[in-house]
Structure 1
């Protein structure tokens, strides 16, 4: 490897690190971290033969973020910050990755290596609390708010990383034709990470994406495979995981101790009532979330419904909100449909994994506030990786 290529991959790694873990405007980096790494990449390593292909997507992001943050929440800083993150990610894929398949593959490798590192730190955080918190704060450049977790300040932020990682890893074991023994091993490893990750939404996302993938990929054989995986999972949990791993901080104990006041279905129903009271969207009534939930018995503390899409529609209304959602996700859904139609084509293995990984983080957003418009790192990376694979014709369709 030449020195120039080494510098390229180091800068790519640092940029993806800043995107994946949300290193933006912290005490560690006094200036926006993505700009620090994208500038030399753009100046010295960009593909000069490609025009900017993401004008429409960047414009849609900007419009959606402007209405949601600047108009709806009167938060100009968040609007500028999140729009900046999305723009730089579009620039990265368009000009740095460009038409270079090797750079695309390295970007994916670096991204999921970072997610794996975060997951391993989460496991350590269960057993070496103080030491792992110091590592997390050093990497993040911020004070850790919740533990146990990975490279994130909160458990919920880590959930997006974990949802992307476990879905990708499990589907990778199938699409890359690994020996059958690897499938239950990878499944067990993913289950342990979910067990310790303490995110029920990740469990739901993983189950849904895995079942959907198996049905499309294996057909009738999926029933047999699912039976084996369930037996492996149940046996491992009963005889190994339950007694060997952290018995206080895990997804099971979190579910048992969950306060009904913060039940997601209850929060969603209350949010729908608010939508019914303000059917055209809060921005058209000149209201903010804090004003409409005043003295509400569920939202009295300022809590949101923790459903990113529902909150977006609550602010922008069904017409503007759903319209922008359709516009933002239209091409990605088109990619997903095309990939599913050609799911067995070996050359599509990587794109298949990315598709279902993106689907997992999208499902995860049904129970949390972070999502595409809030420039959640894993979600934004997966979104543009899928768009780029489509624009660069990386999806193989048999003649």
Structure 2
């Protein structure tokens, strides 16, 4: 029994590890890492009878094919993305199924991994010579940017920062923690954002948390937002400013970016010009992104506008692009109103935190190429976690009559 438990939690941890840190295939691991999920099928207990994500997978297949294959001529990335999305949907439908314990265990384990990544990032600021080789070893490939956590670049790491900070702070509120605990969690979040050197993470965290506060606390949120700003300002002034690296932080990076000609606003404006030249989408003109940008000084070496949604619409056009975006996010938009109604229910505490985390990481895609359809960072796990919560409510009708095993949760 002990061996079975160790194998169970070991496989579960390993799969979530590959999902959280975008580990697909490395020099050591010569098979696609998400395929390891197949071993978890030996531990299926209460699978859902009907596969609940057929429509989502079809939409992902169409969207990723049109974007990666037709628009970018990138076949390898297309198959890699599918080999990540499909096992994730199977993980929730069959491995998690109607088992609430596995659902919450998966979420807590996933965010524990992200927390470990934050700790590595903090250490990387002062011990880069020691930490960077460890990062490379844990990721299975050389790291390109530092300081960061378990991510090859700081851009990918930004999604981890958004996810863990938004989830941690909102969960501390919804689970009714003491005020001092919430303040300490907020302080930890501010440190992660400040040292994480990702401006979009700060904006996404702020937007997601502010929206939550106004929905959860209503008019009192005005005072809470003001108090949060004061706490953040005080933490920066009296703790971070004089006790951390004055070069590798979000403020110094912002100053460096302002001096750089390649800023997000100019890139977005140039992207809109390309969209105006090809209003029905590049794929309908037989063009790829490289075809229309190879002479553009802003988009050298395949650089894009760093706005995932704008890029998606530019390649697929407003009708097909917006249609696919609506199809992907339709269920989450519909769940938003249901979440608002149940925002203060204790049994929904973790789900509410997950849902607003999904909003935050979706906003983060406005400043990056990576997003849900490219399965960057924790995006795909959080997406299916949001959708799956409502499938846990009626386990009798939706699951196989498999007897619970007491040995494995």
Contact 1:20 1:377 in 2 (8 A): yes
User: Structure 1: which 4+ aligned runs deviate by more than 4 Å?
Assistant: none
Contact 1:28 1:140 in 2 (8 A): no
Q: Where do 5+ consecutive residues of structure 1 fail to align?
A: 395-399
Contact 2:308 2:369 in 1 (8 A): yes
CA deviation profile, 1:173-199 (whole Å, cap 9, x unmatched): 110101111222111110111000000
- Alignment correspondent of 1:289: 289
Helix, strand or coil at the partner of 1:220: helix
- Alignment correspondent of 1:326: 326
- Alignment correspondent of 2:71: 72
Contact 1:173 1:183 in 2 (8 A): yes
Contact 1:335 1:390 in 2 (8 A): no
- Alignment correspondent of 2:178: 179
CA deviation profile, 1:72-122 (whole Å, cap 9, x unmatched): 111111111101110000000000000000000110011000000001000
- Alignment correspondent of 1:138: 137
Contact 1:8 1:45 in 2 (8 A): no
CA distance change for structure 1 residues 388 and 49 in 2, over 3 Å: closer, same or farther?
A: closer
- Alignment correspondent of 2:55: 56
Deviation at 1:297, TM superposition (A): 3.0
For the pair 1:110 / 2:101, whether they are aligned, the reply is no
Q: TM-score, normalised by structure 1?
A: 0.96
- Alignment correspondent of 2:264: 264
- Alignment correspondent of 1:152: 151
Task: Trace 1:1-399 onto structure 2 (pairs within 5 A).
Answer: 2-36=2-36, 38-45=37-44, 47-48=46-47, 50-258=49-257, 259-393=259-393
Distance, in Å, in 1 between the alignment partners of 2:247 and 2:101 is: 44
Deviation at 1:347, TM superposition (A): 1.0
Q: Where do 5+ consecutive residues of structure 2 fail to align?
A: 395-409
Contact 2:157 2:377 in 1 (8 A): no
Once the two structures are overlaid, the 10-residue window that deviates more, 51-60 or 4-13, is 4-13
CA distance change for structure 1 residues 46 and 40 in 2, over 3 Å: closer, same or farther?
A: farther
Helix, strand or coil at the partner of 1:300: helix
Helix, strand or coil at the partner of 2:271: helix
Deviation at 1:393, TM superposition (A): 2.9
Contact 1:28 1:142 in 2 (8 A): no
Q: TM-score, normalised by structure 2?
A: 0.93
Once the two structures are overlaid, the 10-residue window that deviates more, 256-265 or 345-354, is 256-265
Deviation at 1:6, TM superposition (A): 3.2
Helix, strand or coil at the partner of 2:374: coil
CA deviation profile, 1:196-222 (whole Å, cap 9, x unmatched): 000000000011011111100011111
Distance, in Å, in 1 between the alignment partners of 2:130 and 2:13 is: 25
CA distance change for structure 1 residues 139 and 381 in 2, over 3 Å: closer, same or farther?
A: same
Distance, in Å, in 2 between the alignment partners of 1:337 and 1:2 is: 44
CA distance change for structure 1 residues 48 and 186 in 2, over 3 Å: closer, same or farther?
A: closer
Contact 2:43 2:95 in 1 (8 A): no
Contact 2:156 2:377 in 1 (8 A): no
CA distance change for structure 1 residues 373 and 46 in 2, over 3 Å: closer, same or farther?
A: farther
Distance, in Å, in 2 between the alignment partners of 1:7 and 1:47 is: 19
Distance, in Å, in 1 between the alignment partners of 2:121 and 2:47 is: 41
CA deviation profile, 1:220-277 (whole Å, cap 9, x unmatched): 1112222222221111211111000111100000001114422111111111111110
Contact 2:124 2:132 in 1 (8 A): yes
- Alignment correspondent of 1:397: none
